[in-house]
Structure 1
Amino acid sequence: MKYTKLPHTDIEVSKICLGTMTWGNQNTEAEGHEQMDYALEQGINFFDTAELYPIPAHPDRKSDTEKIIGTWFKKTGNRDKVVLASKIAGKAEFTKFIRTTGFQRESIIEAVEGSLQRLQTDYIDLYQLHWPERNTNFFGKRGYKVDITDHWEDNFHQVLETLRDLVREGKIRHIGISNETPWGTMRYLEESKVHATLPRAITVQNPYSLLNRIFEIGMSEISMREQIGLLAYSPLGFGVLSGKYLGDRMPEGSRLALFPNYNRYIKPEAIKATQKYYELAQANDLSLAQMSLAFVNSRPFLTSNIIGATTMKQLKENIASINMELSDEILEQIDAIHEEIPNPAP
């Protein structure tokens, strides 16, 4: 395994992070425990979860993923071996069953307390805002579209004040943001620069893959210059970059077969790009999944690559990508495909 440090800290994390959003829906508790056992054996010490998981969110499975991690901590006593990240759900129609969502002080405190209880731990190493409260950066859109119905009021300072108090209480150690834009990222960073007592966001968890490199537009420069590390999620585009959906296939039990509304990665241009990446991988005797993950692993702004799997075979292949180094020639060919079909799955 390879390791990096969470920016502005001495906390060392594996460059592969274990994602958990299928546990409690596509995966059972026993399967989640098996994945954590194997990941730890392979040197992965960084787990990412959220109060919203499993996905898709549903009242009958409310926060079950955190509960599965909590029972594993209790069973194994491995809490001190894991750097644990979780998230508070933002305001949305599909999160109303969780609690009064949004980033008001009482909501953040309630969310943290709930996560601590389910995770059976006294602290969370990295606590993240799952997505902005304001209307921006939606899936399927490549840029910001003005929404005159958005009545959000600037509350960056108040949010950071609440998180600061939770840090002082020892309930969270550091904070991060997720699904953020360049403007939102800089606003959080500037608040903590101007007001020294406020905690600094050290990571941003955004989608990043061969099919979605929008992070490179604006966010990558912020990441490098401000040292706010990318936690890349959906690096295989919901499994599309494994190649299993090529040729109009829809494997039984796959995520997109179960949840067809998550279709942004199988739209025509995305499939066209995936076919080209598949042919490139085949020409170089590489697994498409491992080539796709190795590309993400190679980015200079990456802190950790969040992989997810529903089978142990997938998990083993994904973790093994850390050992793959892509040649300059392959990277150039990847960029050529990206120039031809840029960001087909925003």
Structure 2
Amino acid sequence: MADSNFIDYVKFCSRSGAGGAGSVHFRREKHVPKGGPDGGDGGRGGHIILRGSSQLWTLLHLKYKKHVIAEAGKNGEGGRRTGRDGQDIILEVPLGTVAKDAETFELLHEITEDGQEVILTRGGRGGLGNDHFKTATNQAPHYAQPGEEGIEEWIILELKLLADVGLVGFPNAGKSTLLSSISAARPEIGDYPFTTLVPNLGVIPYRDDKSFVMADIPGIIEGAAEGRGLGIRFLRHIERNSILLFMIPTDAESISEQYKILLGELEKYNPELLDKKRLLAITKADMLDEDLMKEMEADVPKELPYVFISSVSQFNLDKLKDMLWQAING
């Protein structure tokens, strides 16, 4: 996913089609001087529909669609002929997309499966023709229903990446290096803050041809939940991860303090994130001996499963994958 091509937020005006009007018409044939009403119904207005696609990773294709307008239904005709329905507009979106009302921010829909379809904005119903309004006392009604108006609303689409494991850490904690070491993903890596500017996904191969998906998001800094740094833009991407892997380097001043800060930012953003399973990877451990590791273990938060790793030397990466696999599968 190139930086310029990863779009995870779009806002647009969604307008469904109006329903067609019912017809006022009477049967007129040579030997039927007083044929009854036979006006047909109007067609339904077109819907705006969201469809999940596993082939998409971004909302880039919707970035410049500021107005999405469906076709109106056609009017009914004589002979009880129903008008044609307005053509629906189908917007394909990546799995993990949520639709919200742009004014109230109410969650409207969630797309999580390939081929899943939901009606985002419903088209107006077609009006009934005068054939429906005949009665014993009014056998020649001269009226029919108008079509129902379409709906116009502003919609926000947000993408939340679907992954089994989400990486949580400060910039330069080694998240991108880990992802590139154990998957085929090739995120940009550099020795400076915010190397990762967009989320990256990697499929992690495991034993017996099994695999799981890992998501690397830009590093979190203190104050991210209030909008500092890049992390706040992407914190929503770990809302769907079943496991959170916290990554703290061995050169951190205090492992427990960094962990508390990261946990605090997640809690401020969404307290429900604290309900997820959490593991700790202490990175850049290739230069440590066993004595130093034992000394640092005293600073690890209690009851938090942890492992010392080095992505460069591949130290304990298999052990880390075993821990993640066991956590994912209960």
Q: TM-score, normalized by length of structure 2?
A: 0.29
Tell me which protein shows more strand as a share of its residues: 2
Which protein, 1 or 2, shows the higher relative CO under an 8 Å CA cutoff with sep ≥ 6? 1
Larger Rg: 2
Tell me which protein shows more helix as a share of its residues: 1
Q: TM-score, normalized by length of structure 1?
A: 0.28
